[in-house]
Amino acid sequence: MTVVPQSSGPAARADARRNRALVLAAAQRAFADHGTSVSLAEIARRAGVGAGTVYRHFPTKTDLLEAVMQQRIEQMTARATACLNAPDVGAAFFAFCAEVVLTSPRSRAVCDLITADDGWPRTLMRGAGDRFHRALHSLLTEAQRCAAARPDVTVADLSALITGCVAIQRVSGSETELANAARIALDALRSPAPVTVTKLDANHSIHNETRNESNPGCPICGSPLRPTGTGRPARYCSAACRQKAHRRRRRAA
């Protein structure tokens, strides 16, 4: 009697990939709901596959934990890379940061295990982390080039700030809305708006009083300003114009 070997063709490989994806999705939900103590049997039940299927793809829970976290990081890397092609890269950058902060607390159990110094196998994680770091650096650089993000922020600064915001979000307990304190912290990444000085004209309307250094003049009468030699530059051409400006400000007040 001839024994027909089990098929290993394209259909079998596609089925194996589908089962692996089901197990990873179920594991991610199970770890988020119950922490890393959840059993592989429970994960198999959630995935709708047999326990043998789980063990065939992930012989130990450690292998499964690493695969779940690697998948999470790869997804964030793909999201950061996609933001580079957004019509408004600056807005996409801040939306990405908010998304990471909002979704990361559900991965707490896995994150805590990975950051613990207990011999965790970091081979896959290291490669995924390097790719994410490069994508984050590219996105931050582009946001700075568009003057959306502060020019003095580094990737290390950004990572530290996001880590702090994740802790804030975790304390807030909200899974659907960004915590106000986290939003304020992320807003600190924004490029500061230019500061201008304003004055009141004869009709008490406010307009820009930033001096044109190439052709300075009195804001009241337009006459050239005489250099003072020392101290602060002259603002008005005479005491009379200075007093007129003072009276206008008092009337406006």
pLDDT in tens, 178-189: 999 999 999 999
Instruction: Give which of 194, 97, 86, 89 is closest to 148, Cα–Cα.
Output: 89
Residue 7 domain-assigned?
no
Please indicate, yes or no, if residue 9 is contained in any of the structural domains: no
Structural domains in the chain (count): 3
φ/ψ (deg, to 5) at 229: 90, -55
Same domain, 29 and 94: no
Residues 161 and 133 in one domain: yes
Q: What is the CATH number of the domain that holds 95?
A: 1.10.357.10
Instruction: Determine, yes or no, domain membership for 80.
Output: yes
CB 64 within 8 A of CB 20: no
Do 36 and 90 sit in the same domain of this protein?
no
219 and 174 part of one domain: no
Per the DSSP assignment, residues forming a β-bridge with 224 are 217
- In this structure, the answer to whether residues 83 and 178 fall within a common structural domain is yes
pTM over 0.75: no
Same domain, 75 and 148: yes
Question: How many Å apart are CA 38 and CA 27, to the nearest integer?
Answer: 9
Q: Clarify whether residues 30 and 72 are in a common domain.
A: no
Q: 22 and 117 share a domain?
A: no
Residue pointed to by tokens 């005479």: 238
Within a domain: residue 207?
yes
Same domain, 205 and 180: no
Segments forming the whole domain that contains residue 33? 15-59
Q: Which of 6, 28, 59 is the last residue of a domain?
A: 59
Same domain, 106 and 48: no
Per-residue pLDDT of the chain (253 residues; tens, 9 = 90+): 444 444 456 666 888 889 899 988 888 888 877 777 888 888 999 989 888 888 888 888 888 888 888 888 898 899 999 999 999 999 999 999 999 898 876 655 545 544 444 444 456 677 888 888 899 999 999 999 999 999 999 999 998 998 899 889 888 877 788 999 999 999 999 998 665 555 545 454 444 444 444 445 777 777 777 766 565 677 777 777 777 877 787 777 6
Task: Find out whether 198 and 206 touch, Cβ atoms under 8 Å.
Answer: yes
